[in-house]
């Protein structure tokens, strides 16, 4: 397997060819693109190319870079995937257009990413190109971590929410840390600190990003090379009045952070050197950087109710013993004890990518991990490049069952609605053994409207439950929460009308959470467990869709089938007899899938 990974900045271009072990088979670096000094370096040799842009460099250098290598895919780093992209995505004209639409959210990054994509697709039209988004790993942030506390309507209208960045690095190093510790990532709470020129920290709870320090743009959070990180929005307003918006934009992005604090630039090595000689501004820069970092580590630990592993990565995280030791000062209350000698001596590289720097008695493991974003992009590009069937590496397809709105009743309700002693009349068996659709139907009455002829499913249950789609609940005029079957506590009630009477329920209306029934044997084949949450890709005619948040339910009496409602089926134009493939989009489950596809 050979993948070309392309990472385009506004005036730079990095391209690497990697094999499945992460070995670099070729490397191209271009800088100062668009200027008279534009140049590129290919395998050591520098070529001046005045005025060249991304396309011109690729045109000039691509043949030399690729040589005889048979590439399987091209992975493109794309900084902002917005709401639209939560997984690596095969590029076509529509995906390009969607990335273009996201430019207002990442004006510095997405245009450069797109320039690289367009040029590379032109030069390598025959192989799959895949966009891998910095934001995708954070698609699992809960709503409370996504939201800014501003006017909800304004936020919705302008896509204002927290997205998070550096996702490929946070995903890569959190997994590498778990592998190093020989632990299952699904059982660890990890805080990953990616400290490069850009910096962000992430709470990776049981394999999923649940909080991160960057927000709608890569400006929020930690102190960075030239970016300010957290700032009272009042400062922006006050400065904008004085200096104008463009100047404030430039200042906060390009001359703040370490550069702004220290006055000597954004390279931490220089700042450490000068601080050690007594330079007050450089000392202050270090203090602000490490204080902010410690504050955020504490906050991320609080979000997860504790932490098991603390990871430092990227240029500063991998190299600065000083920053690591200051960040870990007085962390004993969290159970984190730094081994000062191990910290000072730690030097990660490709041969030794992970080093432990905590004391043996430290409950929290503190690790330095060498990140490899290119390898992560190559892996992700590779899985998508292989196509859906190969992603699943021969795993069975999962039949899809579409659940129309239906009702489960207690025996007591059956008798109240159909008369004393009434027994439900089976009409036809359902896919799950012992379950059946009944002849009986009811009218469901909501505050706004009613729906006639809703089918009852048998046998009777200990609690009444009415399962409707989002469209139905809107029609009825009631908000039904997304719940697992059987979990009806504190849900809204409705009135049911039958031929012999009516029943007004105090609870029971839900929008069923999508789920897969499977046996323990199936679970072993898929490499999942009961209550896992997985992604399932549906291949349909022109409306392919990946369903996230699919709950796995394992029981010996179940038959393998994924259940979705009519709204969900319509969204992907799923017909009867359709099936889906479990895929690995979050890195949390289905590692089996990735391993099969990659190795
Ligand atoms: P980018 O976000 O551009 O990929 P890097 O991950 O390469 O950034 O990190 C760049 C930062 O790492 C710079 O601030 C640099 O000073 C810092 N850095 C690199 N090596 C060292 C070192 N030995 N000691 C301290 N800081 C270092």
pLDDT, tens digit, 9 for 90 and up, residues 25-35: 999 999 998 89
Task: Please indicate whether residue 316, judged by its CB atom, sits closer than 6 Å to ligand 1.
Answer: yes
For the Cβ of 168 lying below 6 angstroms from any atom of ligand 1, the answer is no
Residue 541 confidence (pLDDT) above 70: no
Mean pLDDT of 465-489: 92
Burial class (CB in 10 A: 0-12, 13-18, 19+), 428: exposed
| 313 CA from centroid of ligand 1 (Å) | 10
User: What b/e readout covers 280-293, taking b as 16+ CB neighbours within 10 angstroms?
Assistant: eebbebbebbbebb
Lowest mean pLDDT among 12-21, 215-224, 378-387, 481-490: 378-387
196 lines ligand 1 (CB under 6 A): yes
591 has a pLDDT exceeding 60: no
What does the pLDDT read at residue 438?
95
| Among 105-109, 198-202, 496-500, the least confident range | 105-109
Least confident span in 35-49, 116-130, 498-512, 522-536:
522-536
Burial annotation 151-183 (CB, 10 A radius, 16+ → b, else e): eeeebeeebbbbbbbbbbbbbbbbbbbbebbee
Span from the CA of 196 to the centroid of ligand 1 (angstroms): 5
Give the closest residue (by CA) to ligand 1 atom 7: 315
pLDDT of residue 114 exceeding 90, the answer is yes
Q: What percent of the chain has pLDDT over 90?
A: 72
Residues with Cβ < 8 Å from 254, sequence gap 6 or more? 226
Q: Is 575 in the pocket of ligand 1 (CB under 6 A)?
A: no
**Ligand 1 atom at minimal distance to the Cα of residue 258:** 14
Q: Give me ligand 1 centre to Cα 197, in Å.
A: 6
Residue 207, helix vs strand vs coil:
coil
Cβ(371) – ligand 1 distance below 6 Å: no
- Residue 322 CA, closest ligand 1 atom number: 25
Q: Is 212 in the pocket of ligand 1 (CB under 6 A)?
A: no
User: What does the pLDDT average to over 374-394?
Assistant: 65
The alpha carbon of 22 and the centre of ligand 1 are apart by a number of angstroms equal to 21
* Protein residue whose Cα sits closest to atom 4 of ligand 1: 196
Return the pLDDT at 584. Answer: 58
- Confidence class for position 333, pLDDT limits 50, 70, 90: very high
Q: Is the CB of 257 under 6 A from ligand 1?
A: no
Question: pLDDT at position 385, please?
Answer: 47
Which residues carry out catalysis?
134
Top CATH class, 169-371:
alpha beta
Q: What is the mean pLDDT of the chain?
A: 90
Determine the distance separating the centroid of ligand 1 and the alpha carbon of 314, expressed in angstroms.
Answer: 7
Q: Between these two residues, 524 and 4, which has the higher pLDDT value?
A: 4
Q: Give the distance (Å) from ligand 1 centre to CA of residue 185.
A: 27
User: Is the CB of 347 within 6 Å of ligand 1?
Assistant: no
**Residue identifier of the C-alpha nearest atom 27 of ligand 1:** 316
Task: Give the distance (Å) from ligand 1 centre to CA of residue 165.
Answer: 18
CB distance 116 to ligand 1 below 6 Å: no
pLDDT tens sequence across 140-174: 898 899 999 999 999 988 889 999 999 999 999 99
- pLDDT-based confidence at residue 505 (cuts at 50, 70, 90): very high
Which CATH superfamily groups domain 2-158?
A: ATPase, nucleotide binding domain (3.30.420.40)
**Does the C-beta of 20 come closer than 6 Å to ligand 1?**
no
Q: Which tokens is 383 given?
A: 């899985």
Q: Which atom of ligand 1 is nearest to the CA of 272?
A: 25
Q: What is the CA(268)–ligand 1 centre distance, in A? A: 7
What tens digit of pLDDT does each residue of 235-292 get? Answer: 999 999 999 999 999 999 999 999 999 999 999 999 999 999 999 999 999 999 999 9
Collapsed DSSP state (helix, strand, coil) of residue 244: coil
- Dist. CA 520–CA 321, nearest whole Å: 47
Q: Is the C-beta atom of 225 inside 6 A of ligand 1?
A: yes
- What confidence tier does 542 reach under pLDDT thresholds 50, 70, 90? low
CA dihedral 113, 118, 124, 126 (to 10 degrees): 110
Nearest CA to ligand 1 atom 12: 315
3-state secondary structure 159-185: CCCCCCCCHHHHHHHHHHHHHHHCCCH
pLDDT at res. 522: 86
Q: What is the arithmetic mean of pLDDT over 580-597?
A: 46
315 lines ligand 1 (CB under 6 A): yes
Q: What integer is the mean pLDDT of 544-553? A: 88
Ligand 1 binding pocket mutation candidate from 315, 346, 371 (most atoms within 8 A of CB): 315
* Cα 472 to Cα 256, 401, 495, 567, distances in angstroms: 52, 18, 15, 9
Instruction: Report strand pairing: 39-42 vs 45-48.
Output: antiparallel
Cα(211) to centroid(ligand 1), Å: 24
CA of 223 to the centre of ligand 1 (A): 13
User: For residue 100, what pLDDT is reported?
Assistant: 94
Confidence of residue 399 (pLDDT cuts 50, 70, 90): confident
Our answer on whether the CB atom of 320 is closer than 6 Å to any ligand 1 atom is yes
Q: 269 in ligand 1 pocket by Cβ < 6 Å?
A: yes
Average pLDDT over residues 370-379: 93
Can you tell me the mean pLDDT for 519-530? 86
Question: Which helix (H) or strand (E) is 442 found in, with range?
Answer: strand 436-445
pLDDT per position as a tens digit, 75-95: 999 999 988 888 888 998 889
Candidate of 9, 316, 346, 376 to mutate for ligand 1, largest count of ligand atoms within 8 Å of Cβ: 316
Domain with CATH 3.30.420.40 in the chain: 2-158, 169-371
**Residues 6+ positions from 168 with CB-CB distance below 8 Å:** 77, 132, 134, 137, 373, 376, 377, 380
The span from the CA of 355 to the CA of 232, in Å, is: 37
Closest C-alpha residue for ligand 1 atom 3: 197
Query: Would you call the peptide bond into 459 cis, given omega within 30 degrees of 0 as the criterion?
Result: yes
Q: Which atom of ligand 1 is nearest to the CA of 323?
A: 25
Quote the pTM value.
0.69
Atom of ligand 1 nearest to the CA of 314: 6
Read off the pLDDT of each residue in 417-444 and give the average, rounded to a whole number: 93
Is pLDDT at 512 greater than 50 in this prediction? yes
d(CA 549, CA 563): 12
**Could you give the CA distance from residue 24 to residue 550 in angstroms, rounded to a whole number?**
37
């Amino acid at each position: 397997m050979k993948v070309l990974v392309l990472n385009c900045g506004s005036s730079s271009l990095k391209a690497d060819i990697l094999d499945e072990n992460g070995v670099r088979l070729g490397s191209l670096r271009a800088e100062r693109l668009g200027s008279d000094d534009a140049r590129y370096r290919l395998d050591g040799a520098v070529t001046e190319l005045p005025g060249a842009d991304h396309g011109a460099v690729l045109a000039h250098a691509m043949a030399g870079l690729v040589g005889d290598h048979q590439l399987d895919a091209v992975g493109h780093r794309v900084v902002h995937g917005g709401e639209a992209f939560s997984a690596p995505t095969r590029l076509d004209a529509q995906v390009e257009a969607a990335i273009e639409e996201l430019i207002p959210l990442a004006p510095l990054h997405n245009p450069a990413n797109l320039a690289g994509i367009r040029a590379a697709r032109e030069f390598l039209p025959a192989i799959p190109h895949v966009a891998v988004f910095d934001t995708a790993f954070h698609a699992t942030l809960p709503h409370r971590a996504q939201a800014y506390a501003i006017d909800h309507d304004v936020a919705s209208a302008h896509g204002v929410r927290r997205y998070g960045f550096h996702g490929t690095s946070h995903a890569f190093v959190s997994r590498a840390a778990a592998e190093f510790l020989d632990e299952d990532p699904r059982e660890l709470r990890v805080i990953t600190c990616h400290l490069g020129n850009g910096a962000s920290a992430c709470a990776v709870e049981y394999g999923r990003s649940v909080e991160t320090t960057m927000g709608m743009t890569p400006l929020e959070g930690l102190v960075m090379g030239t970016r300010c990180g957290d700032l009272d929005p009042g400062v922006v307003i006050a400065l904008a009045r004085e200096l104008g918006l463009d100047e404030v934009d430039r200042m906060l992005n390009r001359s703040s952070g370490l550069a702004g604090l220290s006055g000597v630039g954004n390279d931490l090595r220089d700042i450490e050197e000068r601080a050690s000689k007594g330079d007050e501004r450089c000392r202050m820069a270090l203090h602000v950087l490490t204080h902010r970092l410690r504050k955020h580590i504490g906050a991320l630990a609080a979000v997860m109710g504790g932490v098991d592993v603390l990871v430092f990565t990227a240029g500063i995280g991998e190299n600065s013993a000083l920053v690591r030791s200051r960040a870990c000062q007085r962390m004993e209350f969290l159970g984190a004890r730094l081994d000062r000698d191990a910290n000072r001596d730690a030097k990660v590289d490709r041969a030794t990518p992970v080093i432990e720097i905590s004391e043996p008695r430290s409950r929290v493991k503190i690790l330095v991990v060498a990140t490899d974003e290119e390898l992560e992009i190559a892996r992700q590009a590779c899985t998508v490049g292989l196509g859906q069937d190969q992603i699943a590496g021969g795993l069975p397809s999962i039949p899809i069952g579409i659940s129309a709105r239906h009702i489960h009743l207690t025996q007591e309700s059956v008798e109240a609605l159909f008369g004393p002693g009434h027994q439900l009349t089976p009409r036809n068996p359902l896919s799950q053994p012992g379950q059946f659709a009944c002849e009986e139907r009811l009218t469901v009455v909501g505050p706004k409207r009613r729906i006639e002829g809703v089918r009852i499913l048998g046998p009777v249950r200990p609690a009444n439950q009415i399962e409707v789609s989002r469209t139905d609940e809107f029609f009825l005029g009631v908000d039904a929460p997304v719940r697992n079957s059987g979990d009806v506590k504190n849900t809204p009630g409705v009135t049911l009308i039958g031929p012999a009477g009516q029943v007004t329920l105090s609870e029971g209306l839900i929008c069923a959470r999508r789920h897969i029934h499977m046996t323990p044997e199936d679970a072993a084949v898929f490499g999942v467990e009961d209550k896992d949450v997985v992604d399932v890709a549906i291949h349909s005619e022109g409306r392919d869709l990946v369903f996230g948040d699919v709950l796995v339910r394992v029981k010996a009496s179940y038959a393998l089938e994924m259940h979705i409602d009519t709204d969900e089926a319509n969204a992907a134009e799923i017909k009867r007899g359709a099936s889906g493939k479990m895929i690995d989009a979050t890195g949390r489950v289905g590692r089996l899938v990735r391993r099969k596809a990659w190795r």
